[in-house]
Structure 1
Amino acid sequence: MNVLVLLAGILFLLMSLIGGRKGVRSFIALFLNFGVIIVTLFFMNVPDINSIILTMIACVAISCINLFYINEVNKKTKTAFISTMITTLILVVFISIITNNAMIQGFGEEETEEMGMFSFLIGIDFVKIAVSVIIMSTIGAITDAAMAIASPMREMQYHHPDISRKELFAFGLSIGRDILGTSTNTLFFAFFGAYLALLIWFKDLSYSLGEIVNSKIFSSEMITILCAAIGVTAVIPVTSWITAYFLVKNNSKDC
């Protein structure tokens, strides 16, 4: 507990010194997002509540916190929010299809020994839970990418008010290409960093490469990472188009 408090204190100090007022808001947003996740998990145990719809509501709340609370309500956060929601809705349909066909819901055979003492008859659709997990894993990356594109586009339009919509859209795509590689690699290495022990376990079990790739645990996590990468990629043209449309349509210079 003391270590957690110490690390949180160091993080708060650094975010305050470097980020100023926005850094303090970002630190508070961490706990607000954590609260949203806890509330979502609490209501997800209710059998009559659709977990996918509940997750979408949570994504809206998380996006509002990350965009409007931290960066306040302005043109760039509005366009980033709209882009995030559109991309997430499209991604939900895509993830639902992938999850139903890949059969990654539930637990893998490597986990059955540890979970054997518990009952799996809890009255919850594990397919919907799998979809919800992937959506929650992607929302942060999508919101971050949308804001990273909308913000420089707003600055470009502010300093060059006569820029055309086509030119601004091309500028947004250019920014998106710059962040695409780093964003997808961040998601990729986040998986391997979190599941390094799992890979070592697979090695100790003498799993072949084919057995590793086809195991439910590995497949479910890789599908999550790939869906997140698809979401980050898809949000680039969506954000570029929406931001270019609203900024050129409304040529005022207020932020």
Structure 2
Amino acid sequence: MSLPEVKLSDPKALRGYAHPLRMALIGLLRQHGPLTATQTAERLGESVPNCSFHLRQLAKYGLAERVPGADARERPWRATAHNTSWDDASDDPQVRAATDALSATQLALYTRRAEEFLARRADEPVAWRAVTGFTDRPLYVTADEMGRLTERIEALLAEYDDRVTDPTKRPADSRKVTLVQLAVLTDPPPTEPPAEPPAETASPHSGTAGLTAAGTGAPRAGSAGEEPGDQP
């Protein structure tokens, strides 16, 4: 199944979501909501007025909403969707600046979660220590290939989506795992396009005049041997 999603495109909404407490509130509502502002404050160690303010801001951008029918003063809040997405490929300078700020906030949140896990990892059962942690791998792919790879990963993870929304489908010994996907270019962008190899001049007796190296299946210039992976 496909989880409900909110897609942010307005720079104001993107900047509005780029706040550690607001991201924490949305995560809390998605996992444990509906919750009142008082309950979120208790779980996050924040003041009630502070949580109330940020919940109202999340509602302003369509990320949270009040549960109808409850007491107006302590009416619980809930998330409007299970996922939030935005366009990282926009050419709009304002959108790009806002998405960069949002991604930086998100990365800081992921880093903090990883550090918290490392601090208690020694206390985890061996079975879980064996299957959690960090890894990296260098890939040489085109943009299209990277897109298709991402789609395949998303399709695989989608097989577990129903467990997010329906706790009865979770195995008894299952636990919540945050799987973070970081696809980063480790080389700077090229300043000039790769030079085309010279066209091959055919013999007067040949019937293959005008074929380039690419056309004959020969490797293009500029390819390099694989280098060892390094941590970003």
TM over 0.5: no
Bigger relative contact order (CA 8 A; separation at least 6): 1
Structure 2 length as normaliser, TM-score? Answer: 0.26
Q: Relative to total residues, which structure has the larger helix share, 1 or 2? A: 1
